[in-house]
Structure 1
């Protein structure tokens, strides 16, 4: 099991904070340096034990790191990786935890400053909650983490990141950046789209008579709107393809209801139940 003297985490929200807690719980890092823009968030991360040191200066925070993990919003990852590479020791490996990969990997593929190297990651874990106070050392336990190597990726870098995420409890999968973005558009981005549009369609006057079904189905809509604007924008092509697929399913059930076609209704409902049952609890 690989261990690091110093791991720098840029962005210590839910994901970054959980990585820090997981590293320390499993004794994988001597020091975990949290880097952020707001002292209040950094103090919270240190208070919950997610990091051992904090700084608002990215260059200072990564200067002695053996590994850098960028956990900022997708529209900021490329900039932060480049800033980190310019300040890191030569040959440092940098990864991220972003929800999209095509544009990020395309911008960072190949050698960076100081001969640093980037290899993209995406742990499929988290919740609609935000901030280090919700961080969990076991957040990645049993969850998939996708790593997206390219033709320029060194085999040893892929092995290092695979071992990192496995050590944090994740099940590692290898995908191309394009295949990743196409898949998560369906399994992650479309569900958020659906939850948000369903919640937005609700008249406020009916909320007082809603049961648990509405709350359960719209839970994802409680996520950070600014974050999701960036995700939808960055993965626009595949999100729109996923939405089109969903519209077809909506139209099929709508038409069956309009026609009073109970057999088709039941067939569609059974298919939906089958897929949901396959997901487990």
Structure 2
């Protein structure tokens, strides 16, 4: 029997993440209706063809009207404005949340834009994804067993925070809480700087050597295939934390360079082992 917890969920921006939210809600039977909001008729056609929503519309107000939950899955710079428009049409008690990869700026901008509705907003970031984009790549199981980070503030309504836990956990995810600042520091180290490193390595690889590229190069540079404009905005929003993380990476690279210049095998092995141990700690 379906366990319907939400009568209407409005998903603003239906790409990989938004589409996977729609598929997960539908597959688990926890939403009576999933409405997707797009920017163009072409985007509506793509989400319909992928079957990720029940209704597709260009009208954000129409989608938000009567919604229990509004999820902004837009580029990070558009989250606050999308939620502010939705807040004008949705019920007073509706949960407003997002899926952005940065939190300090999104949370600050959303609180400022939402005014009296700010207590209904709970910032969120699903630690799940793929370098592929678009609703065609969406998966109903994308969030299963993955972590969703919530970033409530002193202004957050406790009832809205509970609804956020209920919503995100209904997709099969493990839900945790932290501050926007701690989130951004952590993601700079584990996501944003690795993306820069992957892109830099890919760009530094001479085209004529790609015939020799195998799984090591492909695995290391996989995320460099992500949307450049999307990642530009993420990096700029979290630029201070990313710069700190890049400084730490730069220092490590200089240590490797010095060990190579000195022919220092023990130092190289020690650093490689340290990296292996840190990677092994994550598990497979």
2:131 pairs with 1:145: no
Alpha carbons of 1:188 and 1:96: their partners in 2 closer, same or farther (altered >3 Å)? same
1:9 touches 1:32 (CA, 8 Å); kept in 2? yes
Superposed displacement of residue 111, structure 1: 8.7
For 1:54-65, list aligned pairs within 5 A.
54-65=56-67
TM-score, length basis structure 1: 0.96
Superposed displacement of residue 205, structure 1: 1.0
Report the RMSD for the aligned CA atoms in angstroms: 1.5
Superposed displacement of residue 62, structure 1: 1.0
TM-score, length basis structure 2: 0.95
1-side partners of 2:93 and 2:273: how far apart? 53
2-side partners of 1:165 and 1:56: how far apart? 25
1:11 touches 1:70 (CA, 8 Å); kept in 2? yes
Q: Which runs of 4+ in 1 moved over 4 A?
A: none
For 1:230-245, list aligned pairs within 5 A.
230-245=233-248
Superposed displacement of residue 41, structure 1: 2.4
2-side partners of 1:158 and 1:258: how far apart? 54
1:85 touches 1:113 (CA, 8 Å); kept in 2? no
Aligned residue pairs, count: 281
Q: Secondary structure at the match of 1:6?
A: strand
2:48 pairs with 1:46: yes
2:83 touches 2:114 (CA, 8 Å); kept in 1? no
Consecutive unaligned residues in structure 2, runs of 5 or more: none
Corresponding residue to 2:172 among 169, 180, 194? 169
Which residue of structure 2 lines up, in the alignment, with residue 125 of structure 1?
A: 128
1:121 touches 1:148 (CA, 8 Å); kept in 2? yes
Deviations 1:38-85 (A, max 9, x none): 222222222232100010111121112111000000011111111111
Alpha carbons of 1:241 and 1:2: their partners in 2 closer, same or farther (altered >3 Å)? farther
